Amino acid sequence: MVDNNEAVLFWLEQEPVDGVDFVYLPADTPMSRPSPKVSYQMNKIKELRKQRAVERLKAYHFEQCADRRRQLAQCVVREELPNQHQEVYEKVDSASHLKEVIPDVLQLLDDIQRLKEGSLTVDAFRQPEPTEEDLQAKQKRAIREKVKQSYSDCIDEKVNEQQHNLKQLYNHRLSLIVPQQQQQQQQQQQQQQHHQQQQQQPQQQQPQQHHHYQQQQPVDVAPTPPLPPRVSQRDPRERIAEEYPSRTQS
């Protein structure tokens, strides 16, 4: 119950309201068809409520962030945090240190002089001398490249040999297939010629037969008279007696 009261008090403290008129309308305000003044007041109240809701949410989230930060700060050991101060470099000016760096300084001056004269290039000046490990690595790379190249050459040789064998096999099969095709073509041509000859022979015989029929004289055939109609020999009274037995009995 105490927590709820604290929450209510918190929200009441966040209300940026100057008076009751900014929050509530009079009791006798018509809501169905309000006047322009009332509409303006209602819209103003809506905007104020939105602003208050936004302020409440912001304050609530800020409070949560502060609580989370306090919880994390309790878990941090300040002695183990890195030093935020800038380190001061050590200044060496002893005679022993100068004696140690004199050869390096002389070598640097010599290189600068050679660079001016042109006997030393920038690339050679920048690249250090290869060590034994560098030489071994270079030798290993050369051996690896050589093995890779020999493997590639072997594969190319095998591929070329296979292509040559396939080409020979194709030519051999082609040499076997072509005569068979030629023989089949000759047989087809012979069959076509024989078929054409068979078609031409009946055409030559048909005109001779037609001419032979033309030479024959027509034979006169005497016209035959039509046959008389068939007449039944049965008595029609017998047929009536069979079809209408009731009439004959009466």
Average pLDDT, the chain: 74
> In angstroms, rounded to a whole number, what is the distance separating the alpha carbons of residues 81 and 118?
53
pTM greater than the 0.75 cutoff:
no
In angstroms, the CA 153 to CA 192 distance is 57
Q: What is the Cα Rg of the chain in Å?
A: 63
Residue 112 lies in a domain: yes
With a cut of 70, say whether residue 99 has pLDDT above it: yes
Q: What confidence score (pLDDT) does residue 31 get?
A: 65
HSE-up (13 A, CA, CB side) for residue 197? 6
To the nearest 10°, the Cα dihedral for 181, 185, 187, 192?
160
Is 172 within the bounds of a domain? yes
Kindly report, residue by residue over 55-68, the tens digit of the pLDDT.
888 888 899 999 99
Average pLDDT over residues 21-35: 64
State yes or no: pLDDT of 43 exceeds 70.
yes
Where is pLDDT greater, at 241 or 141?
Answer: 141
Q: Is 222 part of a structural domain of the chain?
A: no
Domain end: 12, 43, 66, which one?
Answer: 66
Percentage of the chain modeled with pLDDT above 70: 71
CA gap 37, 237 in Å, rounded: 124
**Does the pLDDT of residue 217 top 80, yes or no?**
no
- pLDDT for residue 11 is more than 70: no
**What is the mean predicted confidence (pLDDT) over 228-242?**
73
Structural domain containing residue 123: 104-197
| Phi, psi angles (nearest 5°) of residue 144 | -65, -40
Size of the chain, expressed as the number of residues it contains: 250
Distance from first CA to last CA of the chain, Å, rounded? 128
Greater model confidence, 79 or 140? 140
Name the band, by pLDDT with cuts 50, 70 and 90, for residue 2. Answer: very low
Are residues 166 and 115 part of one domain?
yes
| Count of structural domains, the chain | 2
Quote the CA–CA distance of 31 and 41 in Å, as a whole number.
Answer: 12
Given this model, what pLDDT does residue 66 score?
92
pLDDT at 1: 43
- Higher-confidence position of 187 and 213: 187
What integer is the mean pLDDT of 81-92? 74
- DSSP string computed for the chain: -HHHHHHHHHHHHT---S-GGGT---TT--SSS--HHHHHHHHHHHHHHHHHHHHHHHHHHHHHHHHHHHHHHHH--GGGSPP-SPPPPPP---HHHHHHHHHHHHHHHHHHHHHHHTSS-HHHHHSPPP-HHHHHHHHHHHHHHHHHHHHHHHHHHHHHHHHHHHHHHHHHHHHHHHHHHHHHHHHHHHHHHHHHHHHHHHHHHHHHHHHHHHHSPPPP-PPPPPPPPP---S-HHHHHHHH-HHHHH-
Which of 163, 179, 197 is the last residue before a domain boundary?
A: 197
pLDDT digits (tens, 9 = 90+) for 138-152: 888 899 888 888 888
Tens-digit pLDDT profile for residues 170-195? 887 777 777 777 778 888 888 888 88
Average pLDDT estimate for 5-22? 54
d(CA 117, CA 153): 48
17 in a structural domain: yes
Domain boundary among 171, 197, 223: 197
Q: Are residues 62 and 108 located together in one domain of the fold?
A: no
The predicted structure's pLDDT at residue 65: 92
CA distance 24 to 154: 95
